[in-house]
Amino acid sequence: MAVIISYNVNGVRAALKKGFIEWINACKPDILCLQETKALKEQVDTDQFEEAGYHHYWHSAEKKGYSGVAILCKEEPDHVEYGCKIGDNDREGRVLRVDFGDTSIISVYMPSGSSGDLRQAFKMEWLADFEAYIKELRRERPKLIISGDYNICHKPIDIHNPISNKNSSGFLPEERDWIDGFMKTGMVDSFRHFNQDPHHYSWWTYRQQARERNLGWRIDYNLVSQPLAGSMKAARILSEAKHSDHCPVYLEIDY
């Protein structure tokens, strides 16, 4: 049995100042997928992770203080793959994969389109490229867990006000169509597999006391490919963790 947690930390150095390592030591996940690390490995006091018993792997953006993903593992993986080898996508440090036997776990930080039309167009192109990459990868490695910040709410239940946000990046029809189609290729939304209740979110704006009022968006997922779906034991959103504007999402699986 393994516990996999995905967490957009919105800057790993900032999170460490807010008790992040103490939280890791309390939770003790087997695998911790991080997004938006905003740091090069050399800029982080990684001794703390090693002292907690983790191997750690980093894929940072070329632009300093931007994007970036990492994976912490209790066990050393058989293989680590940095990036997805598609065009210029890897410059932003958004995809990192670790393999354990015939199972692969990916930490992914999908682009946001909220800054304007150019980034929204980049986001849609990136999503198409990523889906093509995963389609090819699944031919070789069908047992796949894709954990991370997708920057998309799937359904109206996943956002606090679907009507007023219908034209907001992250809830646009074309984005929702993409994630719906991606799931229909055989990727199971682990949280919704266990929980169909409303008002469960993983991100809140810092404005207007949104977190205190639970005015959030569910944009962080652990998606599990069909060959592994029967091995899922539990999935939760750990909203009590407050090192970021996101909170961690939890998956317990026997792989």
How far is the C-alpha of 12 from the C-alpha of 17, rounded, in Å? 9
DSSP codes, 102-139? TEEEEEEEPPP-TT-HHHHHHHHHHHHHHHHHHHHHHH
Tokens of 90: 């890897």
pLDDT tens digits for 10-24? 999 999 999 999 999
Catalytic residues: 149
Q: What tokens were used for 205? A: 């704006």
Tokens, residue 201: 């979110």
* pTM to 2 decimal places: 0.98
Contact (Cβ atoms closer than 8 angstroms) between residue 77 and residue 46: no
pLDDT confidence of residue 204: 98
% pLDDT > 70, the chain: 100
- DSSP SS3 for 54: coil
Q: Which domains does the chain have, with CATH numbers?
A: 2-253 (3.60.10.10)
What is the C-alpha separation between 30 and 3, in angstroms, rounded? 5
pLDDT-derived band at 137 (thresholds 50, 70, 90) equals: very high
> What's the pLDDT tens digit per position in 210-249?
999 999 999 999 999 999 999 999 999 999 999 999 999 9
d(CA 37, CA 18): 14
Q: How does pLDDT run across 97-114, given as a tens digit for each residue? A: 999 999 999 999 999 988
pLDDT above 90 for 255: no
Mean pLDDT computed over 157-181? 97
Task: Quote the CA–CA distance of 53 and 85 in Å, as a whole number.
Answer: 30
Residue 88 pLDDT class (50, 70, 90 cuts): confident
pLDDT band with cut points at 50, 70 and 90 for residue 89: confident
